[in-house]
Amino acid sequence: MDLRIKNVRKDFDLTPALHDVSLDIASGELVALVGPSGSGKTTLLRLIAGLEQPNAGTVYFGQDDASRLSVQDRQVGFVFQHYALFKHMTVLQNVGFGLTVRPRGKRPTAREINERARSLIELVQLAGFEDRYPSQLSGGQRQRVALARAMAIEPKVLLLDEPFGALDAQVRKDLRRWLRELHDVTGHTTVFVTHDQEEAMELADRVVVMSRGRIEQVGAPDAIYDTPASAFVHRFIGESVELPVYIEGGMIRLDGIAIPLSAADEPDGPAALVFRPYDVAIDEVDRATYPGIAATVVASRWHGRGRRLELAVGAGGHSMEIDLPPDVAPPVDSTLSVWPTRWTLYRPSGASLSHPTPAAAASMVSPIQQMAVAQ
């Protein structure tokens, strides 16, 4: 089932929780909504489910204006953020519940309900647990029951609001992989809310980044990561270094000192220089062929498969963390010259000026190797 959200606004007590949100979701897609707390993720999900009505705009299910469909007619399977199974019902009864409460004409027979519930329990890998009560299950098992229960009504759309929120990291990872596989089997159109950006990036066909009731960017995970549309997305998805700079006559200055990046044709004024921690080249200051940003090593530690340096930058008390290959180990207190090799300037107006691969970047890579040899 295609979903189309068109110019939707939702106010609570006159305060907008969603402003003019538009989003198209194709049938069978797995879409993740991410964003900070309060950005409107649950509200958007509840609007799709029909649990809230928009103040303006329309939600379409296929060609149908969903405002004409009741919650039941939308056939939405929903796993809530703070989900509770029915404590007094077994796993089998919980999963079959949505079918047993259907109006008489649409209700399958008891036997059909039983069969469907059992096959779903098998699908979520809980065969043998049919007669247990929720209190006799682990958190991850309960979430899987909740998913089976949401799927029992044969939903056209599956809406999951932080279904793994309360679980520990390893269980989340297992369930994440499992949910992706399950989606590939069932093919339900799925909208999944998480504030774990890693979870969204790993799981989703497309990621929707929300902030303050607006959609900041929609795209495939790698597109969002590689070409963030705003400073907010750059900060929110993946790690980033951010330095406050000032543009003057096409030069970029940090604490008044020009750095070797140019912003030709950019109007004068403040900007944020943003880059990924590993998109840097370094050299020792007194040898630097390209005078970069002067920075002093404050700390150096192992990080993943490389080394992370904590640096004090310039005179303005700024700091940044950069990632280097493991064999590059400038000592603490040494001073380095650092260049971003791939960077973006964000202006306060929201406009951005991107520099994916500046011409000089290729020649800046060599100092890293020189330094590795020198150590």
Output 40 or 54, the one with its CB closest to Mg ion: 40
SS (H, E, C) 98-127: HHHCCCHHHCCCHHHHHHHHHHHHHHCCCC
Q: Does 43 bind Mg ion (CB under 5 A)?
A: no
Q: Are 213 and 37 in contact (CB under 8 A)?
A: no
Q: Does 53 bind ligand ATP (CB under 6 A)?
A: no
Tell me the C-alpha distance between 236 and 232, whole Å.
6
Choose, by CB under 6 A, the member of 22, 26, 27, 38 that binds ligand ATP: 38
CA distances from 188 to 43, 166, 184, 281 (A): 21, 24, 8, 45
Tell me the sheet residues that pair with 366: none
Output 42 or 240, the one with its CB closest to Mg ion: 42
Q: Taking contact as CB under 6 A, which single stretch among the options 31-39, 89-97, 141-149, 358-366 is the one that binds ligand ATP?
A: 31-39
Residue 44 C-beta: closest distance to ligand ATP, Å = 7
Q: Are 278 and 323 in contact (CB under 8 A)?
A: yes
Distance of alpha carbon 253 from the chain centroid? 32
Residue 48 C-beta: closest distance to Mg ion, Å = 13
Q: Does 54 bind ligand ATP (CB under 6 A)?
A: no
Ramachandran class of 187: left when φ > 0, alpha when ψ lies in -120 to 50, beta otherwise: left
Tokens of 196: 């774990």
Residue 340 C-beta: closest distance to ligand ATP, Å = 32
Q: What angle do CA 203, 205, 211 make, to 5 degrees?
A: 85
Residue 37 C-beta: closest distance to ligand ATP, Å = 3
Output 17 or 117, the one with its CB closest to ligand ATP: 17
Tell me the sheet residues that pair with 296: 312, 335
Residue 41 C-beta: closest distance to Mg ion, Å = 5
User: Helix (H, G, I), strand (E, B), or coil: what is residue 280?
Assistant: strand
Choose, by CB under 6 A, the member of 8, 30, 41, 206 that binds ligand ATP: 41
Residue 12 C-beta: closest distance to ligand ATP, Å = 3
> Which listed option, ligand ATP, Mg ion, none, makes contact with residue 277 (CB within 5 to 8 Å by class)?
none
> Which listed option, ligand ATP, Mg ion, none, makes contact with residue 217 (CB within 5 to 8 Å by class)?
none
Q: Does 12 bind ligand ATP (CB under 6 A)?
A: yes
Q: Does 195 bind ligand ATP (CB under 6 A)?
A: yes
Q: Does 37 bind ligand ATP (CB under 6 A)?
A: yes
In the region spanning residues 80 to 139, those forming contacts with ligand ATP, defined by CB under 6 A, are 81
Residues contacting ligand ATP: total by CB under 6 A = 13
Tell me the C-alpha distance between 244 and 261, whole Å.
14
Tokens of 355: 């520099």
Tell me the sheet residues that pair with 157: 76, 189
Chain positions contacting Mg ion, by CB under 5 A = 42
Chain positions contacting ligand ATP, by CB under 6 A = 12-13, 17, 35, 37-43, 81, 195
